[in-house]
Amino acid sequence: MSRTSQAAVIRRKRGDYRQKWAFLFCLPNMLFFLVFFVAPAIVGIWYSLTNYNGLKRMDFIGLENYIELFKDPEFYKILLNTAKFVLVYVPLGYVAALGMAMILVSDTMKGSTILRILIYWPTLLSTIMVGLTWKWIFGENFGLINYLLESAGLPRIGWSSNAVAAFLTTVIAGVWAGCGTNMLIFIGALKQIPEELKDAAKIDGANAWEIFKAITIPHLRPVTFMVVMLSAITGFKEFAMVQTLTNGGPGTATTYMIQYIYTTGFTKLRVGYASAASMVLFVILLVLSFLQSKAMDSGDEQ
């Protein structure tokens, strides 16, 4: 055996050995993936091909549910609503969380712990409580903002009868409820940027904005990828909070995908139909995340 091929064998062996470790590290999650995701998903796909009502009736009806779904004009409207929500919610949430993290990351700032607790606190409310809390603020007849406006002699805002205003309330409440989580992730990431880098840049005469652009943003890349993707997915799945806050109204102006699935499917005992709608949502999200991670990868290679 020649020397080079011997080296190759050793390398391969080492590779096998490392691969084994990699596999071992992932094994528990793989099992969970199979048992708690793949298995239910397969059952879900099966349901989507039947007229299952959640109880005894379950007949195979082929693609009928999907056909009905794609024929429903409301489905497209809701999809558009959801997309609009995500497009506003994700960037706004990102900026808010990063901004808070930048302010609160420094240890030297007195009271930063208290501030962090305050910002994080809303994430502790259950989604339903978030909806209720904001109802008190954005209520049309019985809300704080309208009360203050009225006291100041200004006209009330139709938070729940004006489609745009209602949309805004869902975005604000959504950002508010999710911001603490992302802020914490950003703080963790910001802490990892070596101070020396910034100091060096400062010595070179860089101003705060330049440091932010040249050092902070590139260092936050991996975390940004995660935050954007998770927020987008959360946005697409927004449900309980919005249902409590606006009940999807006025009309269907703030009805998003999961609420649609819920009200057209589960509450009417049409589990088959609801499953079909879920699968469609799943595929949409899958394609979007695939595109996002591709975009991220090509960015990495540059």
- 149 touches 97 (CB < 8 A): no
Q: How far is the CB of 1 from another protein (least distance, A)?
A: 25
Nearer to another protein, 2 or 301 (CB): 301
Nearer to another protein, 40 or 91 (CB): 40
- 219 touches 268 (CB < 8 A): no
Nearer to another protein, 22 or 217 (CB): 22
Q: How far is the CB of 268 from another protein (least distance, A)?
A: 5
Q: How far is the CB of 195 from another protein (least distance, A)?
A: 7
Is 291 exposed, middle or buried (CB count within 10 Å of its CB: 0-12, 13-18, 19+)? Answer: exposed
Partner residues linked to 60 by β-bridges: 50
Nearer to another protein, 5 or 141 (CB): 141
Give CA–CA dist 116/128, Å, rounded: 23
Cα dihedral 158/160/161/167 (nearest 10):
100
Nearer to another protein, 92 or 103 (CB): 103
Nearer to another protein, 2 or 128 (CB): 128
Q: How far is the CB of 2 from another protein (least distance, A)?
A: 25
Q: How far is the CB of 87 from another protein (least distance, A)?
A: 18
